[in-house]
Structure 1
Amino acid sequence: MTKYTINKAFEKYFPYPIWKIEIDCTKKCLAIEYRNPENTLPTFAVFDFSGRDLLRSYEEQEKEWTLEAVQGDYLILKQFGSNTPIKEGIKIIHVPSKSIIYTGMEYILHDVFQGYIKATHRSIPSGLNFYINIHTGEIQNRINTPLNYPLIHVHYPPPYTGKLPQFIENLPVVDTIWLQPLKNNFIWAYHTKANESYNLNLCISSRTEIFDTKIILNNLTRLIPQPYFQVEEYIFFLSNTKQKIVAYLV
């Protein structure tokens, strides 16, 4: 890879809009939840930062299941409901085999740690916690080792409000421009007008010059309020239809 360039890592299309994204930085993988607008049933997919499919599609037949977390080979779902009493539940899926490690409707999920889910029992008074082992599905009422949160380094670029350098100031930027430091360089994101539509542009620069510029999304009907999210050296974009995710390595 040429130094200081923007290189596409992968591009993924989904038949329905993406609802949720969860990331595991330790194993460098993403989990996606997308839903059929007609029946709102969820489907889940998992792939790594190079775009390799780990779980192409896992369909649920109850719309109340939603994505909670991904930890390596394990997908964690949470069930919710609007009826009284609230129907809640927890499900752990082993990604490579698509087998269910644990399903429980009597526990309410409160937090996800590295290797464990913290939950309470529906029929036991508050104050007593239980811990579900993500790898085995076993339930314990105490943990002897410290619990740590998973490693998740997700960053969103803030809008830039300072004085623009000349090499950026002269660009035909429409509306907001975003700036994010990346090691010794800088990542800029901005829209430009293209006839009656918009393009979303990504630019990598030093303090004095532009190294590389790419049009990431084109023919947009409207401006995107949050252009991307960054995980380590990868930058991820969602299309305005939320049916495509594109990753770039910078």
Structure 2
Amino acid sequence: MTKYTINKAFEKSFPYPIWKIEVDCTKKCIAIEYRNPDNTRPTFAVFDFRGQDLLHSFIEQEKEWTLEAVQGDYMILKQFGSNTPIKEGIKIVHIPSKNIIYTGMEYILHDVFEGYIKAAHRSIPSGLDFYINIQTGEIQNRIITPLNYPLIHVHYPLPYTGKLPKFMQSLAVEDTIWLQPIRNNFIWAYHTKAHDSYNLHLCLSSRSEIFDTKIILDNLTKLIPQPYFQVEDYIFFLSNTKQEIVAYLV
């Protein structure tokens, strides 16, 4: 019988807490937005599913810019206001070179498709859409080719409310157990108590036995309400400080 295991793929640390995460499953990369708590200015990073940096850091001086999407070699940012938009804005960054492909302060971002951003002009009445080519920054008010959403397969585990299988019944689990099928097997996530702190476990099993178990996060001061997200065969965890992201291959 094949032995299934949980293997750490990589671990990334950031100087400030992570605010947003966007994934591109076609390119197999992840974009991260993290912010300095003192001035709330954002910095952006992009890396692939092996942990290799594609964009180490891209710092924005204006705090109103935020991550909207990552698509191939391009990162898409949009500008926002705290209550109402200060000024609408869209920015496209070429990841390998850090060059700005396009900046438009007069457009409001409505949606992101494969190769195009759908936007509206703030001074033109509603009903007229514009399409910004992500690779070139060119704008057109009609498009002939069908628009498709990019491939993004992000999944979250669900709380398990059924009867536990025998191999799980002896575990001293605290609070919720999460379950997610993966191919012909199952991923379980749960907390256990260790003195005055908690440990977060990841368990890989079949229908009848446990293959492998790992403590993913330890010495937690509180339970994590959403333990991870899954992209294809990778499980991604955020630390309780939100300054580290850890990936496991299952």
TM over 0.5: yes
Q: Secondary structure at the match of 1:167?
A: helix
Instruction: Give the corresponding residue for 2:17.
Output: 17
Runs of 4+ in 1 over 4 A off after TM superposition: none
**Cα deviation, residue 28, structure 1:** 0.4
Partners of 1:22 and 1:124 lie apart in 2 by 30
- Give the deviation of 1:166 after TM superposition: 1.0
2: CA distance between counterparts of 1:85 and 1:194?
46
Once the 2 structures are TM-superposed, how far is the Cα of residue 83 of structure 1 from its aligned partner? Answer: 6.4
| TM superposition shift of 1:57 | 0.4
**TM-score, with length taken from structure 2:** 0.98
Structure 2 partner of 1:168: 168
Q: Cα RMSD over matched residues?
A: 1.0
1:224 and 2:231 matched: no
SS of 1:168's equivalent in the other structure is helix
- Code of the residue aligned with 1:80 in structure 2: it is F
The aligned counterpart of 1:128 is: 128
Q: What CA distance in whole angstroms lies between the structure 2 residues aligned with 1:96 and 1:36?
A: 24
* Distance in 1 (alpha carbons) for counterparts of 2:169 and 2:134: 50
Structure 1: distance between partners of 2:65 and 2:127 = 26
Q: Cα distance, 1:169 vs. partner?
A: 0.9
3-state SS in 2 of match to 1:180:
strand
Amino acid at match of 1:143: I
C-alpha change, 1:207 and 1:85, in structure 2 (3 Å) is closer
Q: Deviations over 1:90-126 (max 9, x none)?
A: 0000000000000000111000000000001111111
Deviations along 1:172-223, whole A, 9 cap, x unmatched?
A: 1110000000000000000001111100000000011000000000010000
Partner Cα separation in structure 1 for residue 3 and residue 74 of structure 2: 35
Alignment-mate amino acid for residue 135 of structure 1 = Q
Distance in 1 (CA, whole Å) between partners of 2:41 and 2:124 is: 31
> By how many angstroms is 1:35 displaced?
0.2
Unaligned runs of 5+ in 1: none
Distance 2:189 2:68 in 1: 29
**Alpha-carbon distance in 1 for matches of 2:62, 2:85:** 17
Residue 89 of structure 2 corresponds to 89
- Between the aligned partners of 1:245 and 1:9, the Cα distance in structure 2 is 11
Distance 1:165 1:6 in 2: 20
Q: 1: distance between equivalents of 2:85 and 2:115?
A: 29
Q: CA deviation at 1:81?
A: 1.3
Q: How far apart, CA to CA, are the structure 1 residues paired with 2:249 and 2:84?
A: 47
**Residues 115-154 of structure 1: matches in 2 within 5 Å?**
115-154=115-154
Structure 2 matches for 1:98-117, cutoff 5 A?
Answer: 98-117=98-117
* Number of the residue aligned with 1:234: 234
User: What's 1:201 paired with?
Assistant: 201
For residues 202 and 228 of structure 1, the distance between their equivalents in structure 2, rounded to whole angstroms, comes to 10
Deviation for aligned residue 1:147: 0.1
Relative to the length of structure 1, the TM-score reads: 0.98
Counterpart of 1:30? 30
Name the aligned partner's letter for residue 26 of structure 2: T
**1:7 aligned partner:** 7
AA aligned opposite 1:33? E
* Paired amino acid for 1:48: D
C-alpha separation between the residues in 1 aligned to 2:206 and 2:182? 10
